[in-house]
Structure 1
Amino acid sequence: MKVKRIVANVNTKDITAAKRFYQDVLGLDLVMDHGWIRTYGLNEEMSIQISFASQGGSETPTPDLSIEVDDVDAALEGMKRAGFSIEYGPVDEPWGVRRFYVRDPFGKLINILAHELS
């Protein structure tokens, strides 16, 4: 298993407030918009994104950090073997990801995910 991407999530009631700073001033594109979450980045190879969310999707809490991996099930088994408790999932979400939530050693809620192949 290898990490493919790490995405920071910022919890906010007003996800529209990010547009002026991150898109208008910094020049990032709106690369995803599900209504409850908007992600800004570039449509080219990159390793940095920042999302603004009013929830974590499926009415879950907004995770502190999202980490994309190439094999969610391998990551899940690794977390379980290491003794970390799974707080949500694993689940195949309607927007095309398979994911689970786990707390890191510092109490941060981490969303481990992989995009499902169509």
Structure 2
Amino acid sequence: MKVTRIVTNVDTRDIAAAKCFYQDVLGLDLLMDHGWIRTYGSPGEMNIQISFASEGGSRTPTPDLSIEVDDVHVAYERMTRAGFQIEYGPVDEPWGVRRFYVRDPFGKLINILAHE
């Protein structure tokens, strides 16, 4: 298993406020918009992304960090084997990802996901 992408999430009730600063002023592209989350970044390798969310989707809390991996099953096994408590999932979400939530050692809610 290898990490393929890490995405940070900013919890906000005013998702639209990000457009002016991140898209209009900084020139990032709107890469994804599900209504409850908008992700801005660069096309291609997507090395830079920042998301603004009012929830984590599926009525879950907004995670502090999203980490995309190439194999969610392997990541899940490694987390449980290491003794980290899974707080949600693994689950196949309607927007095309398989994911689970886990707390890191600092109490941050981490969304581990893979696009299907």
TM-score, with length taken from structure 2: 0.99
2:41 pairs with 1:41 = yes
Instruction: Name the aligned partner's letter for residue 36 of structure 1.
Output: W
Quote the offset at 1:42 in angstroms: 1.5
Q: Secondary structure at the match of 1:19?
A: helix
**Unaligned regions of 5+ residues in structure 1, if any?**
none
Tell me how far apart the structure 2 counterparts of residues 115 and 97 of structure 1 sit (CA, whole Å): 4
Instruction: Name the aligned partner's letter for residue 8 of structure 1.
Output: T
Quote the residue 2:10 is aligned against: 10
Spell out the pairing of 1:1-118 with structure 2 (5 A cutoff): 1-116=1-116
Comparing 73-82 and 42-51, the one that deviates more: 42-51
**Unaligned regions of 5+ residues in structure 2, if any?**
none
Tell me how far apart the structure 1 counterparts of residues 47 and 86 of structure 2 sit (CA, whole Å): 26
Tell me how far apart the structure 1 counterparts of residues 18 and 89 of structure 2 sit (CA, whole Å): 29
Tell me how far apart the structure 1 counterparts of residues 49 and 16 of structure 2 sit (CA, whole Å): 16
1:6–1:48 Cα contact (<8 Å) kept: no
RMSD: 0.5
Instruction: Name the aligned partner's letter for residue 66 of structure 1.
Output: S
Quote the offset at 1:89 in angstroms: 0.1
Q: Secondary structure at the match of 2:16?
A: helix
Quote the offset at 1:67 in angstroms: 0.1
Tell me how far apart the structure 1 counterparts of residues 90 and 105 of structure 2 sit (CA, whole Å): 20
Tell me how far apart the structure 1 counterparts of residues 24 and 104 of structure 2 sit (CA, whole Å): 34
Instruction: Name the aligned partner's letter for residue 105 of structure 2.
Output: P
Instruction: Name the aligned partner's letter for residue 98 of structure 1.
Output: R
Instruction: Percent identity, please.
Output: 84
1:38–1:52 Cα contact (<8 Å) kept: yes
Q: Deviation above 3 Å: which 4+ runs of structure 1?
A: none
TM-score, with length taken from structure 1: 0.97
